[in-house]
């Protein structure tokens, strides 16, 4: 259980604690106890000279939460970062990654010049060339694709120009670039992230994530998310979660196979069998509905199902059934269901734990439903819609390319709105798609993808990838395989428009060069402009007109200078000065909350779905008998008690617990639990799970010394009981074997893990990403590197860089959401064999190709899909054809 | 403005004087390490030494386990043994309570390190990134350079859980004074007579054994061994595994 309850102290410790208080009988009051008289931030001074440091606002991109930040500059060098006090969701705070982010700028292994490969791929032999030469070379390659397409009169050839990104925060810049070239072959990384969560949510209520009102809630059910370390939106959510738990006395219950910091902070932590979250959630729904604890009115008014329908659907999902599947006691499921339904307001939050499994979208939909049936949607303290803001694109904006790209949107995954990027190399190896130019931006699949050796083999193969270009400024496992590197600058030296729904206050923010890019390096956006100008020098191709920007800053002005409200405050110039818009108030020194000029706490807006439809819009609308408001053939809202509400972003404007789009492809339209193949593993086997820690992203932060010092190795978490049975002691070398190969690492025995699970962090175990990440810090600077951190050269004291688990993780996909099923790989764990060395990894591309075939059997056209969905009312012989 | 001398006058409770202090509310600490990173950046703190750390400790048996965090920094004692023991006057107590270093007077004899019961002091290595002060003793300053400008310390500034609260404990209207006066707080090793000025709320979670205990897991032990192979004479804070 968690550690907020009554815990006995052991006072025999090395350090004795003394009570220095205090008023007799004083107990911890419910006041915030966080007031301060000093200023909370916004300025900084040199500890050496006392000089005031120059403060420049920016948006963080250490990870993808996009906190507002202020960079402190001393003598032209960024020395310190802090959260932007004007950012309503960041409220002046950054996490450890955000604080360390400026180290990217001064990474001694930062690539300082475009590089052209001179040896074999991956051999590490490079020739420095200029940005002009580099963009010219790439332009020739891109132009050749267009010319070939035109000569053959085959527009599908345009899709041979491919770009793949891990993080694309260009605010439409890459889409503009690719569409100007006529290509739709843009691959994101979302299916290795949380895409099945998004696909569980979008058809349900519109947007792809929830925004919990943590600080005002009374009850939090956390399914497999590590809010206090890594999940969206860690810093803003963590701040408010602590406010909710400590100040508002909210209870938090976590379900996670591993004791994360969040599970460890929770009042109750349960470790379910991996992939059984939906059994638990459905059983809770079962209890809530059968005991009449649900919000009947909300279900009637705001969903597309009836109470009777739900009761019938939930009948088999009893707490006893859930206990049998998950191992979580039925009595606890009942108790927590009752607590959740009767404690108002309440909210769930879920992230990758439930959804990164085969059929992960069902799990998310089941969890989402708990909030719906209890009427906690869009309530103060409840489960709210995300709040983001957009910005206009400069005109003209290019239309999409003429032909859909099958690697960008694989047709066998029609519901996977965030696509299936893992499949690209397999599809190309199988000859289903062709590549001429492969570009990658903020992307490191050779490290961060499942069965990462497949990407290594793919990107090395010149017959599959004739020409590859990396835009990274770090020599990652993927960058080192490129033919040409056109380095971008770091996020502190670059322009981007930003908006993230990281709290209940929607806002825009920006990135701008805090300092002039180091050493004449050039930002990506400028390279895109240059490339298009070279591909289409006279505008005859029709591409150049989309890139007629005088400068990158001119591009930004076109985003920000015409936004109503912001325009009056100065548009882009205002953004450069403040970094964020709008500001809702200032952070109170008394309570840490946002307050207005009168000192009143700024209250967020709730009930977005209940916004009223303007009378003018209603003029020619029709109200159907069920309350649906229709106009011109579409539903535009819902009428309840005579009021006309805009509703949710679904076709019916209601929350669609019943998803017709799922049924159409033979998936269950209502949230269900499906027993996973990994649930039926053999008794001696274990399930491999991975996780992020609070100081690292997936792949980009092992090079940051402050973070690497805190966390630099990733031994395999195993429960002591299980380890004993396996003959493994703490620190022993172990061999972990999956169907595609094995790895040799060390065991870390901990009570904080399900006995059937072995867990390894993905933060460590680099074979590239610079000398610090690979512990080659004593080696001399590469010719292209920035060089020069004597602290790293001399003071690194740790000697273990970890072992990366991704090679042995099998490709496996949720056929609904298209997500990689990260947490389904069945492994055996055994003491290392004679000759095994720490870090040994042996894996097979051929075995991984078999996993691809296996994954397709679960796709909607596959035999295993049909076998697992006999209950679905669909004509199996008349499923839609792929791509139609 | 600063009083230099071997004797450090107690300033706690002295009318008309400021006495800076910190309260760490352990109920609000989520072990995010933002303070550790912010502190490193603020001062260009080299690898292998720390002005502030957060020790992590798991307790209990599956499934009844919990995780404890223990943020540590200099206690800016009102009766600091480091100051008493410094032979050169390099270590001194500022009249507002900060325990600070005059680097130019420090001969690196490490007497203060030995005298400090909290492992709050360290020897700066020869090499660091941008600041040119090397091979002398350094420590947490409570961000005197920020506090004197009206700001909170860097660790407090970035604290995500608002776990660290900073103020003038001599000012009865300050939050820290109110907390110390009305809430149950603890300090570390008060029996040493140091009068520490870092107070902890919810001592149940302090986990007394973890603070300077030997690392238990192989992962932590092997990190400690690597640390001691590389660093002579300084003490490892314990790591996070």
Model confidence pLDDT, tens digit, residues B113-149: 999 999 999 999 999 999 999 999 999 999 999 999 9
| Within a domain: B30 | yes
Query: How many domains does the structure of chain A reveal?
Result: 3
Has residue A325 got a pLDDT over 60? yes
Tell me the per-residue pLDDT of A765-797, one tens digit each, with 9 for 90 and over. Answer: 999 999 999 999 999 999 999 998 999 999 999
Tell me, yes or no, whether A239 and A360 share the same domain: yes
Partner-chain contact A270 B130, CB within 8 Å: no
Instruction: Confirm if A277 and A302 have CB atoms less than 8 A apart.
Output: no
| Within a domain: B237 | no
Grouping H, G, I as helix, E, B as strand and the rest as coil, residue A398 is coil
Where does the pLDDT of residue A884 fall: very low under 50, low under 70, confident under 90, or very high at 90 and above? confident
Partner-chain contact A794 B127, CB within 8 Å: yes
pLDDT of residue B169: 97
Tell me, yes or no, whether A312 and A269 share the same domain: yes
Residue B48, domain CATH: 3.30.70.20
User: A–B: how many Cβ contacts below 8 A?
Assistant: 337
CA–CA distance, A362 with A377 (Å, rounded to integer)? 19
Tell me, yes or no, whether A145 and A185 share the same domain: yes
Which of chain A's residues have a Cβ under 8 Å away from the Cβ of B102?
A: none
| Within a domain: B211 | yes
With CA atoms as reference, the chain A residue closest to B178 would be A33
CA–CA distance, B235 with B49 (Å, rounded to integer)? 9
- Over residues A550-565, mean pLDDT: 97
Partner-chain contact A795 B168, CB within 8 Å: no
Residue A716, domain CATH: 2.40.40.20
Chain A interface mutation, best of B67, B171, B207, highest count of A Cβ atoms under 10 Å: B67
Tell me the per-residue pLDDT of A787-844, one tens digit each, with 9 for 90 and over. Answer: 989 999 999 999 999 999 999 999 999 999 999 999 999 999 999 999 999 999 999 9
pLDDT of residue B5: 47
Neighbours of A616 (CB within 10 A): 7
Neighbours of A452 (CB within 10 A): 24
| Within a domain: B78 | yes
Tell me, yes or no, whether A160 and A251 share the same domain: no
- How does B172-211 read in b/e, with b if 16+ C-beta sit within 10 Å? eebbbbbbbebbbbbbbbbebebbbbbbbbbbbbbbbbbb
| Within a domain: A463 | yes
Which A residues 61-90 touch B at CB under 8 Å? 77, 79-83
E strand or H helix at A630: strand A628-631
Tell me, yes or no, if B6 comes closer than 8 A to chain A by beta carbon: no
Grouping H, G, I as helix, E, B as strand and the rest as coil, residue A388 is coil
Domain of A486, in residue numbers? 115-193+400-501+516-549
Residue A290, domain CATH: 3.40.228.10
Tell me, yes or no, whether A181 and A327 share the same domain: no
Residue A528, domain CATH: 3.40.50.740
Tell me the per-residue pLDDT of A248-277, one tens digit each, with 9 for 90 and over. Answer: 999 999 999 999 999 999 999 999 999 999
Q: Residue B43 burial by CB count (10 A; 0-12/13-18/19+): exposed, middle or buried?
A: buried
| Within a domain: B10 | no
Give the nearest partner residue to B145 out of A34, A50, A721, using CB atoms.
A50
CA–CA distance, B57 with A483 (Å, rounded to integer)? 47
| Within a domain: A875 | no
- How does A500-539 read in b/e, with b if 16+ C-beta sit within 10 Å? bbbbbbbbbbbbbbbbebbeebbbbbbbbbbbbbbbbeee
Helices (H) and strands (E) in chain A, counts: 28, 33
How high is the mean pLDDT of chain A?
95
| Within a domain: A213 | yes
pLDDT of residue B216: 85
ipTM field: 0.96
Tell me the per-residue pLDDT of A10-60, one tens digit each, with 9 for 90 and over. Answer: 333 333 333 333 333 334 443 568 899 999 999 999 999 999 999 999 999
Partner-chain contact B205 A17, CB within 8 Å: no
Domain of B208, in residue numbers? 20-229
Tell me, yes or no, whether A303 and A417 share the same domain: no
Which of chain A's residues have a Cβ under 8 Å away from the Cβ of B241?
A: 711, 713, 715, 748
Instruction: Confirm if A14 and B238 have CB atoms less than 8 A apart.
Output: no
| Within a domain: A475 | yes
Tell me, yes or no, if A846 comes closer than 8 A to chain B by beta carbon: no
Grouping H, G, I as helix, E, B as strand and the rest as coil, residue A341 is helix
| Within a domain: B52 | yes
| Within a domain: A586 | no
Q: Residue A310 burial by CB count (10 A; 0-12/13-18/19+): exposed, middle or buried?
A: buried
Tell me, yes or no, whether A346 and A488 share the same domain: no
Query: How many domains does the structure of chain B reveal?
Result: 1
| Within a domain: A576 | no
Tell me, yes or no, if A329 comes closer than 8 A to chain B by beta carbon: no
Query: Among candidates A704, A742, A750, A696, which has minimal Cα distance to A723?
Result: A750
CA–CA distance, B208 with B211 (Å, rounded to integer)? 6
Total-model pTM: 0.95
């Amino acid at each position: 259980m968690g550690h907020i309850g009554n815990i006995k102290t052991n006072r025999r410790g090395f350090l004795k604690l003394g009570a220095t208080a205090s008023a007799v009988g004083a107990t911890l009051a419910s006041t915030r106890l966080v007031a301060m008289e000093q200023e909370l931030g916004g300025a900084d001074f040199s500890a050496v000279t006392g000089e005031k440091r120059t403060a420049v606002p920016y948006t963080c991109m250490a990870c993808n939460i996009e906190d507002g930040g202020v960079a402190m500059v001393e003598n032209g060098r960024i020395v310190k970062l802090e959260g932007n006090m004007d950012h309503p969701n960041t409220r002046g705070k950054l996490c450890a990654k955000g604080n360390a982010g400026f180290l990217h700028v001064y990474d001694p292994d930062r690539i300082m010049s475009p590089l052209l490969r001179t040896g074999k791929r991956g051999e590490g032999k490079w020739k420095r060339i200029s940005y002009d030469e580099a963009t010219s070379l790439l332009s020739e390659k891109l132009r050749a694709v267009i010319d070939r397409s035109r000569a053959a009169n085959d527009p599908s050839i345009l899709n041979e120009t491919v770009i793949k990104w891990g993080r694309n925060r260009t605010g439409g810049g890459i889409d503009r670039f690719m569409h100007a070239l006529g290509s739709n072959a843009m691959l994101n990384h979302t299916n290795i992230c949380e895409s099945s969560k998004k696909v569980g949510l979008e058809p349900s209520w519109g947007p792809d994530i929830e925004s919990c009102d943590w600080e005002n809630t009374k009850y939090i059910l956390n399914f497999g998310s590590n809010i206090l370390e890594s999940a969206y939106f860690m810093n803003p959510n963590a701040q408010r979660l602590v406010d909710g738990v400590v100040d508002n006395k909210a209870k938090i219950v976590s379900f996670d196979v591993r004791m994360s910091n969040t599970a460890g902070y929770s009042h109750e932590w349960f470790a379910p069998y991996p992939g059984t979250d939906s059994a638990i959630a459905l059983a809770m729904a079962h209890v809530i509905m059968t005991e009449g604890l649900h919000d009947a009115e909300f279900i009637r008014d705001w969903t597309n199902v009836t109470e009777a329908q739900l009761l019938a659907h939930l009948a088999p999902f009893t707490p006893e059934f859930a206990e049998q599947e998950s191992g979580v006691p039925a009595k606890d499921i009942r108790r927590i269901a009752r607590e959740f339904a009767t404690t108002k307001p309440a909210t769930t939050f879920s992230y990758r734990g439930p959804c990164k499994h085969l059929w992960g979208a069902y799990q998310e939909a089941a969890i989402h439903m708990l909030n719906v049936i209890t009427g906690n949607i869009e309530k103060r303290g409840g489960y709210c819609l995300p709040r983001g803001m957009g910005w206009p694109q400069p005109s003209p904006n290019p239309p999409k390319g003429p032909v859909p790209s099958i690697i960008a949107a694989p047709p066998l995954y029609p519901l996977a709105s965030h696509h299936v990027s893992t499949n690209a190399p397999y599809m190309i190896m199988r000859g289903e798609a062709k590549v001429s130019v492969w570009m990658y931006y903020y992307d490191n699949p050779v490290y961060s993808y499942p069965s990462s050796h497949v990407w290594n083999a793919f990107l090395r193969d010149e017959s599959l990838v004739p020409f590859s270009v990396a835009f990274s400024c770090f020599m990652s496992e993927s960058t080192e395989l490129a033919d040409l590197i056109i380095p971008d600058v770091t996020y502190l030296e670059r322009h981007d428009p930003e908006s993230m729904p990281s709290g209940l206050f929607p806002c825009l923010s920006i990135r701008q060069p805090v300092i002039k890019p180091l050493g004449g390096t050039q930002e990506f956006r400028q390279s895109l402009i240059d490339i298009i100008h070279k591909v289409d020098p006279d505008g005859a191709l029709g591409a150049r007109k989309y890139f007629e920007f005088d400068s990158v800053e001119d591009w930004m002005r076109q985003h920000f200078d015409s936004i109503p409200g912001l325009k009056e405050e100065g548009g882009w110039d205002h953004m450069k000065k403040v970094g964020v818009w709008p500001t809702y108030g200032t952070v109170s020194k008394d309570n840490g909350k946002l307050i207005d000029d009168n000192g009143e706490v700024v209250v967020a807006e709730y009930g977005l779905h209940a916004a009223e439809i303007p009378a003018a819009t209603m003029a020619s609308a029709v109200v159907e008998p069920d309350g649906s408001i229709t106009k011109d053939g579409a539903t535009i809202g819902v009428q309840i008690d005579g009021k006309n509400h805009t509703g949710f972003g679904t076709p019916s404007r209601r929350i669609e617990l019943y998803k017709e789009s799922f049924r159409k492809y033979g998936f269950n339209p209502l949230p269900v639990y499906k027993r996973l193949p990994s649930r039926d593993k053999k008794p001696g086997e274990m399930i491999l799970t991975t996780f992020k820690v609070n100081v690292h992203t997936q792949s980009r932060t092992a090079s940051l010394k402050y973070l690497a010092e805190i966390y630099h190795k990733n031994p395999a978490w195993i429960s002591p009981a299980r380890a004993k049975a396996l003959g493994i002691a703490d620190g022993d070398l172990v061999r972990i074997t999956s169907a595609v190969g094995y790895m040799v690492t060390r065991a870390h025995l901990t009570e904080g893990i399900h006995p059937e699970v072995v867990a390894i962090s993905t933060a460590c175990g680099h074979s590239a990403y610079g000398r610090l990440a690979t512990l080659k810090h004593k080696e001399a600077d590469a010719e292209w590197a920035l060089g020069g951190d004597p602290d790293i050269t001399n003071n690194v004291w740790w000697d273990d860089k970890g072992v990366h688990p991704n090679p042995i993780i099998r490709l496996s996909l949720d056929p609904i959401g298209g997500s990689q099923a990260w947490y389904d790989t069945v492994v055996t764990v055994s003491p290392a064999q004679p000759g095994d060395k720490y870090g040994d990894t042996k894996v097979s591309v051929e075995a991984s190709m078999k996993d691809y075939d296996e994954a397709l059997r679960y796709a909607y056209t596959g035999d295993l899909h049909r076998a697992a969905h006999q209950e679905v009312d669909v004509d199996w012989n008349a499923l839609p054809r792929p791509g139609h | 403005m600063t009083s230099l001398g071997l004797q450090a006058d107690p300033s706690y409770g002295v009318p008309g004087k400021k006495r800076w202090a910190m309260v760490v509310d352990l109920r609000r600490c989520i072990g995010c390490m933002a303070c550790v990173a912010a502190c490193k950046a603020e001062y260009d703190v080299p690898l292998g030494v720390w002005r502030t750390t957060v020790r992590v400790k798991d307790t209990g048996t599956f499934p009844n386990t919990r995780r404890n965090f223990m943020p540590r920094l200099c206690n800016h004692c009102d009766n600091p043994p480091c100051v008493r023991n410094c032979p050169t006057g390099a270590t001194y107590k500022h009249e507002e309570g900060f325990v600070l270093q005059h680097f130019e007077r420090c001969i690196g004899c490490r007497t203060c390190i030995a005298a400090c019961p909290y492992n709050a002091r360290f020897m700066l290595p020869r090499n660091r990134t941008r600041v040119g002060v090397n091979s002398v003793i350094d420590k947490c300053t409570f961000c005197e350079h920020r506090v004197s400008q009206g700001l909170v310390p860097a660790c407090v500034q970035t604290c995500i859980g608002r776990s660290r609260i900073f103020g003038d404990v001599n000012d009865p209207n300050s939050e820290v004074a109110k907390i110390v006066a009305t809430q149950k707080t603890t300090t570390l090793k008060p029996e040493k007579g140091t009068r520490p000025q870092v107070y902890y709320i919810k001592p149940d979670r302090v986990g007394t054994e973890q603070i300077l205990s030997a690392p238990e897991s192989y992962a932590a032990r092997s990190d400690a061994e690597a640390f001691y192979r590389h660093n002579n004479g300084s003490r490892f804070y314990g790591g996070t595994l």
